[in-house]
Amino acid sequence: MITRGLSANRLHPNAGNPCEVAFANAWRAINSDEPLKPVLEYLVPGSTSGEQVAVATVVQWLGSPVGMGFLEWVITSSPEVRKYLQAACDSARAKEERGFSLDDALYDAVHAPVRALPQAALAANPGEAQEDEFVERPW
């Protein structure tokens, strides 16, 4: 599976893009084959290499200054997103205080919602979903 985007050159340690590096590294980590199926396989089953590169590029972009501005705009304009993120941060902090590594807590936070979704909903073409069939994905 391809987990590097078109702008991987921006991930060099001296490039000054630590947030992009963090997003790209997290995307690579949650798409490893162990111990779960890569997240992209849930989102785009049977994805092509072009789709994999496109998704990796967008995820890395979220860590860029423009992407971070986009995330800030979404977070500040949506009370639901702020509430979800606050709860996720509180949960990760509580797990860390109980001895879990922060990496493990964040890994669980990303994978648990994916595992909880019904396989039929994951395989459905979102363009064809009816309003009553909509499955809200927490990411």
Among the listed residues 97, 109, 119, the one whose alpha carbon sits nearest the alpha carbon of residue 26: 109
What pLDDT, on the 0 to 100 scale, is given for residue 135? 40
Number of Cα atoms under 13 Å in the Cβ half of residue 113: 13
Amino acid (1-letter code) at residue 82: R
Residue reference for tokens 């922060």 = 102
- Who has greater pLDDT, 122 or 91? 91
- Work out the average pLDDT over 17-37: 83
Query: Which pair of structure tokens corresponds to residue 18?
Result: 């630590």
d(Cα 25, Cα 19) in Å, to the nearest integer?
Answer: 10
| Dmax (CA) of the chain | 49
What pLDDT, on the 0 to 100 scale, is given for residue 92? 78
What pLDDT, on the 0 to 100 scale, is given for residue 102? 56
- Who has greater pLDDT, 48 or 112? 48
Is the pTM value of this prediction over 0.95?
no
Mean pLDDT of all residues belonging to the chain: 76
Handedness of CA 46, 134, 111, 36 (dihedral sign): negative
| CB burial string 16-35: b at 16+ within 10 A, e below | ebeebbebbebbbebbeeee
> Which of 71-75, 107-111, 123-127 has maximum average pLDDT?
71-75
